[in-house]
Structure 1
Amino acid sequence: LVVQTGRIGPHVDVQACSDLGIAVADGQTDPGVTAELTWALVLAAMRRLPQYVASLKHGAWQQAGLKSQSMPPNFGLGQRLAGKTLGIWGYGRIGQRIARYGQAFDMRVQVWGSEASRTRATEHGLLAAESREAFFATSDVLSLHLRLTDATRHLITLADLSLMQPTSLLVNTARPDLLAPDALVAALNRGRPGLAAVDVFEAEPILQGHPLLRLENAICTPHIGFVEQDHYEQMFVQAFRTIAQFAAGDLSAAINAGDLSPRRP
Structure 2
Amino acid sequence: MANPSPRLRVAILDDYQDVVRTLDCFGKLQGHEIRIWNDAVADVGILAERLADADVLVLLRERTKVDEALLSRLPNLKLISQNGHVPHIDLAACTRYGVLVSSALTQRPSHPTVEFTWGLILAAMRNIPLESAALRKGAWQSTVGLGLRGRTLGIYGFGKLGSMVARIGAAFGMELLIWGREGSLDRARTEGFAVASSKQALFAQSDVLSLHLRLNAETTGLIGPQELAVMKPTALLVNTSRAELIKPGALVEALRIGRPGKAAVDVFEHEPLTDPNDPLLLLPNALCTPHLGYVERDNYEFAYGNAFDQIVAFAQGTPINIHNPDVLKQGALQ
**Deviations along 1:161-216, whole A, 9 cap, x unmatched?**
11100000000000010000000000000000000000000111211111111111
Instruction: Please name the residue that 2:264 is paired with.
Output: 197
**Deviations along 1:16-51, whole A, 9 cap, x unmatched?**
112222111223464101000001000111111111
Match of 1:134 among 176, 198, 201: 201
Max Rg structure: 2
Match of 1:4 among 76, 82, 85: 82
Shift of 1:5: 3.0
TM-score by length of 2: 0.73
Instruction: Please name the residue that 1:159 is paired with.
Output: 226
Match of 1:230 among 290, 298, 303: 298
1:173 partnered with 2:251? no
Shift of 1:13: 1.1
1:87 partnered with 2:171? no
Over the matched positions of the two proteins, sequence identity in percent amounts to 48
Unpaired runs of at least 5, structure 1: 65-76
Q: How does 1:1-265 map to 2 (within 5 A)?
A: 1-9=79-87, 11-27=88-104, 28=106, 30-64=109-143, 77-206=144-273, 207-258=275-326, 262=330
In 1, Cα distance between equivalents of 2:92 and 2:329: 10
In 1, Cα distance between equivalents of 2:299 and 2:110: 10
Q: Which has the higher contact order (CA 8 A, sep 6+)?
A: 1
In 1, Cα distance between equivalents of 2:188 and 2:326: 37
Cα 1:129–1:245 shift into 2, 3 Å: same
In 1, Cα distance between equivalents of 2:264 and 2:329: 45
Q: Is the 8 A contact 1:38 1:173 kept in 2?
A: yes
Unpaired runs of at least 5, structure 2: 1-78
For 1:224, the aligned partner's letter is L
In 2, Cα distance between equivalents of 1:38 and 1:80: 16
Q: Is the 8 A contact 1:18 1:260 kept in 2?
A: no
In 2, Cα distance between equivalents of 1:127 and 1:162: 23
Shift of 1:60: 1.1
In 1, Cα distance between equivalents of 2:155 and 2:109: 19
Shift of 1:261: 6.0
Q: Is the 8 A contact 1:197 1:218 kept in 2?
A: yes
For 1:115, the aligned partner's letter is E
**Deviations along 1:93-152, whole A, 9 cap, x unmatched?**
111110111011011111111011101110011111100110100011000010000011
Q: Is the 8 A contact 2:134 2:140 kept in 1?
A: yes
In 2, Cα distance between equivalents of 1:151 and 1:158: 18
SS in 1 for 2:330: coil
Cα RMSD, aligned residues only: 1.6
Shift of 1:252: 3.0
SS in 2 for 1:255: coil
TM-score by length of 1: 0.91
Q: Is the 8 A contact 1:20 1:260 kept in 2?
A: no
Cα 1:122–1:258 shift into 2, 3 Å: farther
Q: Is the 8 A contact 2:159 2:212 kept in 1?
A: yes
Q: Is the 8 A contact 1:251 1:257 kept in 2?
A: no
In 2, Cα distance between equivalents of 1:233 and 1:214: 35
Q: Is the 8 A contact 1:112 1:118 kept in 2?
A: yes
Q: Is the 8 A contact 2:82 2:303 kept in 1?
A: no
For 1:154, the aligned partner's letter is G
For 1:37, the aligned partner's letter is F
For 1:54, the aligned partner's letter is A
Shift of 1:263: 6.1
The farther-off stretch of 244-253 and 146-155 is 244-253
